[in-house]
A and B are shown apart, each in its own frame.
Chain A
């Protein structure tokens, strides 16, 4: 079975701090894609960052970066210089290359405090 696990239900940090959200996944596929989605209070799902499994280089998008450890099946998200607008639910998701479905983790509720 393909599963995604986020072990931190809630996290809270001060504005401008750096925070890392954990995600592990389980698959026997060799080609797949990993995503972090953000769901703010508006509940609109927003893609934060994407990683292709065959690429060894970690993806980065401005203040957001990932630590992709393929052998360990780990895909953590680092948010640098956190801002109040980063307050949201963050979902880690996975999809095999040939499939269509996204498999979501349980989510981490992140609160950035002023």
Chain B
């Protein structure tokens, strides 16, 4: 149980275009999803917290107009990287939290590798 999927697992796009990454909780309802960015050999950096039906909360320094997050249902959150540039190339990971999970555990997706050329 508690499986989170991401699609696509790998994407290459041209500079100036937009790309959408989907995060789905497959066997549970996730009222809260999180988006992380990870550079090579570094830790996970939280970009934003996404609550179903409301606007995402972005971490300081994350451009909300560049990284659009939508959490329209209890099983789906999307991250759209708008007008992508080579510096946006990275590994993006989503995670999901079960509503009222007092253990605060997050279940992670397998990640999406974005390369902007």
- Does residue A68 face the partner (Cβ distance < 8 Å to B)? no
A72-114: CB near B (< 8 Å → 1, else 0) gives 0000000000000000000100010101111011110100000
Chain B contact residues: helix, strand, loop or mixed: strand
Bound state CA distance, A72 and B95, in angstroms? Answer: 30
Q: How many A-B residue pairs have CB under 8 A?
A: 50
* B104 and A44 form a contact (CB under 8 A): no
Query: Interface size on A (CB < 8 Å)?
Result: 23
* B43 and A33 form a contact (CB under 8 A): no
**Contacts A42-B110, A45-B93 given: A104-B44 contact, CB under 8 Å?**
yes
Residue of B nearest to A106 (CB): B43
Within 8 A of A (CB), among B10-34: 32, 34
The residues of B that contact A16 with a CB separation of less than 8 Å are none
Bound state CA distance, A100 and B49, in angstroms? Answer: 8
The residues of A that contact B38 with a CB separation of less than 8 Å are 43
Q: Which residues of B are at the interface with A, using a C-beta cutoff of 8 A?
A: 32, 34, 38, 41-44, 46, 49, 91, 93, 95, 97, 102-106, 108, 110-111
Q: Which residues of A are at the interface with B, using a C-beta cutoff of 8 A?
A: 33, 35, 37, 42-47, 50, 52, 91, 95, 97, 99-102, 104-107, 109
